[in-house]
Structure 1
Amino acid sequence: MLARLRRLWNQFFNKTRTINNQPLNPVSLIVIILIDIFILINVFNGLDDISRWHLSPYQAYPCYAEWENYRTKTTQDKDYEIIKLALPYNINNQPSFQQNYQLAQTGHLGKVSPTCLEYAGYKDKINSPENQQTIKSIDREQAKISNLEQANRNIRAQYDSTLLEKIAGQPREQSINQVAAEKAKQNLEQNNRQISTFKTEISNQKNGLISKSESVRFLAFLKDNNKFTEIEKGYKQASFWYPSIQLGFQTLFLLPLILIAFSVHNFAQRRGYGLISLISWHLLIIFFIPLILKIFQFLQIGALFQFLFDVISAIFGGLLFLISYIYILLIPLLGFGIIKFFQQFVFNTKLQAAKRVQNSCCVNCAKRIRQHDNHCPHCGYYQYIECQNCHELTYKLLPYCKHCGHFQEP
């Protein structure tokens, strides 16, 4: 088994650096490697673009994260905070929330959730100039409260030392503090009164904003459990299938490239076009690399992983590390299956030999030879083997003797 793998690896390595079984010169090899890197970068760029062709769960359900955050919050001001999100500062020449959600559909497959569009419609109704002014007024008064609270902290930091200076009888002009103890106390009281006034005004403005008809309808919509359940279910289902959809599109992008490179490589080998055969072989490798990487990435985050995660969570509770054991067993089995598939159907030496004999090509290197040549003039490979039944010469690697039809042992 190891010897066979070593032989396959040597054949693979030799094909990447030889033309017509002749070693490639260093300059040509460097040029081909640079071409490989350039193509590989563009392949990954293409894969990235096509993977975003279908709407992501976030794009299809743009209201889910905001809505879920609102429902899980326990703060007193959560109604005001969700309404404030519907009131951005700069609204000049900006599309509405509904238009923003619908823009995600442009040039993509999939549709934005109608419930999220309805959600955006409620937000657009709240986003009026009058409500914008209310938000700006609240923010200005909140900034004033922050300034007053900072001033109070500065005064309190100096208050203890000014009080000690007064008890010690130190003259005011020798004090290191800017404000006397009596004055500091007055300033603190005055600032606290202003803070209390501003907080009352802010509370009134917030209550006025929340009690407006458009806000009341929006909050009632947010508290509709049936609507949220619909969104949550759709989002989770989209998240479950999205990696599979991405892999499907990425495979759709790579398969035509792989098939074209494989066809060109076989054609070039049959016709003896060494350089084309070498380049197409490199392209075939380059197109397979990202496909294999994407398959392994899918196995880590795709529907299979989520299924295993759910099963183990249901059966074993917190023993999620068991997923690692399953992957340790699953990945080698998958790799073994892929190897067997390509050996059996794609790179099967007997199938290749049959096609090469039909096309008067060497059964080893696929170069064109004359029909009765015993050895290939390109690679020196002996084409025949003695039949175990009739002892006549028949083609190597083919299952039956061309003279007596007896089955040839492999």
Structure 2
Amino acid sequence: MRAICHIGHHKTGTTSLQAFLAQNSHELLKAGTLYPWVENEGAANAVAKALRGRDDDDELSINIREAHNALAFRMLADTLPAWKVPGYHRMLPHSNQMMRAIELQIRELQPETTTLCSEVMSHFGKIAPDLITRLRTKALRSVSDISVWCTLRRPDEQLVSWHGQQLRFGQAPAPLSDPERGLKLDWLHVDYRGVIEPWAQLIPEAKLILRPYDEVKAEGGSIDDFFKHSKIKRPAKLQPAQHLNVGFQPAVIILLRKANKQLPKPVAAQLASHMTALTRGMELFGTSQVEFLGEASRKKLVEHFAPIHAWLSQVSGRKAFFADIDKMAQCNPRSEAEALQQFLDQLTPDRLQRLPSKELRDFLAQQHA
């Protein structure tokens, strides 16, 4: 038997992959791949699928849809006092019980492949490497062949994407163009060696599968890329994939940074939830066109990342892990101000009326001033 631990990274399509695997867990199991549940909701869902004899397109709860994120959060919270399980993952058992559930499913079902998928596990290497050993010796103790999979973005693109995610969460981070306060070089969105190397050291028998995000996109996205390079069987009858956790456009990122600083949290969150509808039909610059870092931050990032990239290239057996690594030193052509102005120029009165509150409409109207 073999196992694949897909540990992300964040913002590389892992959320969509998890949802797809969870939605199709019954057909996958029939084809030899176990995507294990970890708590009671997942167990009940698996039994219901077995009784029906099929998967369906019902919307899954987050404990089922992101089961292995729930496991990773629980493992971190059970180990580190500073970590708490997010409120949306409710009624989770202790992580030992969750890993025992995986171990028993492997024992009873004897799958060809067991797949775990969780970008939250990308935190283990940097802050709690003992959790890697716990996962291997408890949940996956009976598995002889193991692979650790990680998809990585070029770090300048990763930082911009995560900056947008922070704003989606209601945070107000300093701009990435501030090389002192906004550019964090020691965290997992830059220190890819710190993310991956502990897995290789603590599970020395594991095969590393490291995928550049540009190649994943060229394969059709995280789901198609996973099936192609994991060599697991792809059943014919599968529920369609959902495209989840889509990143914001640059103009939206810039606007939410202002909103999260100036507006009450509930109001700023309301704006974030309405931005997709508000911008529908607008022609807006993409992230590859707008510069968020600036020359000073890019210079600092390039120097810091050079030895990390050399290590990635060596362990992956590639001449250059990121084939376009030289582009990291180059600023994009459009400024943040231009991106925001492009949005404001298309913000007509009828679009403003789509917003549910006067406070939001007034906030956007003020941006024209």
Instruction: Using structure 1 for the length normalisation, give the TM-score.
Output: 0.20
Higher relative contact order (CA 8 A, sep 6+): 2
Which has more radius of gyration? 1
Q: Which has the higher strand share?
A: 2
Q: Which has the higher helix share?
A: 1
Instruction: Using structure 2 for the length normalisation, give the TM-score.
Output: 0.22
